[in-house]
Amino acid sequence: MKLILLGPPGVGKGTQAQLLSNEYNIPQISTGDILRGAIQRSSELGRKANDFMSKGELVPDDIILGLIQDKLFGEKPPNGYILDGFPRTIVQAKALKTMFEEHHDALDAVLSLEADEKLIVKRLSSRRTCRNCKTVYNLITKPPVVDGVCDTCSGELYQRDDDKIDTIQNRIAVYKKQTEPLIDFYRAAGILFAINSSGSPEEVHNIITSQLED
């Protein structure tokens, strides 16, 4: 199964990608996680990406497309996957379409996660992530047992730089301008499913799986 999770920052793409990955035994491919890993290692990719990410801007298409080409169609292409955070622009979506056509392959579905803006700002500003194992927490809906400490590996929990309120607002504006047009792009392709994502993670997961298995 080849899926795209589309939606504004904080709507729950990463959370749902994890649940789907466990359910269908296919990898989550998160461009955000790949870029944050590169920043942590101070690699050339990380140095290039950091300037954009810290301001809540998108990383240039050519950088992202090189990375995705390699992940999806490189030496060991995965049989199925959940794309989390890619594509993010019409240029990226059209380039992905071309890559699939060249490989006689196709997407199965695009899940467009939707929730009220107030709710996503609340989710983002209360998110904490483990520096070590990257487990995602939420101070309101999924707090760690011990304040500031990861339940899984005892690593330190931190707030992402781009989860500060000013950057959140810019990320939402960038989403509306550059990513929201993808909803119409994939609706026209006949593979878009709108998913109400305001419920609990388990409720949203159940909506998604019942749509996929319908």
Is 12 a binder of ligand AP5 (CB under 6 A)?
yes
Spatial distance between the Cα atoms of 133 and 146, rounded to a whole number of angstroms:
16
- 36: helix, coil or strand? helix
Instruction: Kindly tell me the sign of the dihedral angle through the C-alpha atoms of 66, 70, 172, 165.
Output: negative
Does 205 bind ligand AP5 (CB under 6 A)? Our answer is no
127 is catalytic: yes
36, 123, 128, 171: the catalytic one is 171
Distances (CA, A) of 132 to 29, 40, 72, 81, 154: 19, 11, 26, 24, 9
Q: Which of 13, 36, 71, 123 is catalytic?
A: 13
Pick the closer one to ligand AP5 by CB: 78 or 199.
Answer: 199
Cis, bond preceding 87 (omega within 30 deg of 0): yes
Catalytic (active site) residue 123: no
Binding flag, residue 38, ligand AP5 (CB under 6 A): no
**Residue closer to ligand AP5 (CB basis): 33 or 191:** 33
Q: In this chain, which of 29, 31, 82, 182 binds ligand AP5, going by CB under 6 A?
A: 31
Of 36, 88, 123, 128, catalytic: 88
Q: Is 47 a residue of the active site?
A: no
Query: How near is the Cβ of 20 to ligand AP5 at its closest, in Å?
Result: 12
Residues in region 63-92 near ligand AP5 by CB under 6 A? 64, 85-88, 92
Contact flag: residue 32 with ligand AP5 (CB under 6 A): yes
> Alpha-carbon distance 211 to 110, whole Å?
11
Neighbours of 131 (CB within 10 A): 13
Report the SS3 class of residue 193: strand
State how beta strands 81-84 and 127-130 pair.
unpaired
Smallest gap, in angstroms, from Cβ of residue 51 to ligand AP5? 10
Active site includes 36? no
CB-CB neighbours of 83 under 10 Å: 23
Q: Per CB under 6 A, does 11 bind ligand AP5?
A: yes
Query: Is 177 tagged catalytic?
Result: no
Task: Tell me the CA distances in angstroms from 17 to 12, 46, 82, one per residue in order.
Answer: 8, 23, 6
Position 144 contacts ligand AP5 (CB under 6 A): no
- The catalytic site residues sit at 13, 88, 127, 160, 171
Binding site for ligand AP5 (CB under 6 A): 7, 9-15, 31-32, 35, 52-53, 56-59, 64, 85-88, 92, 123-124, 127, 136, 138, 141-142, 162, 171, 197, 200-201, 204
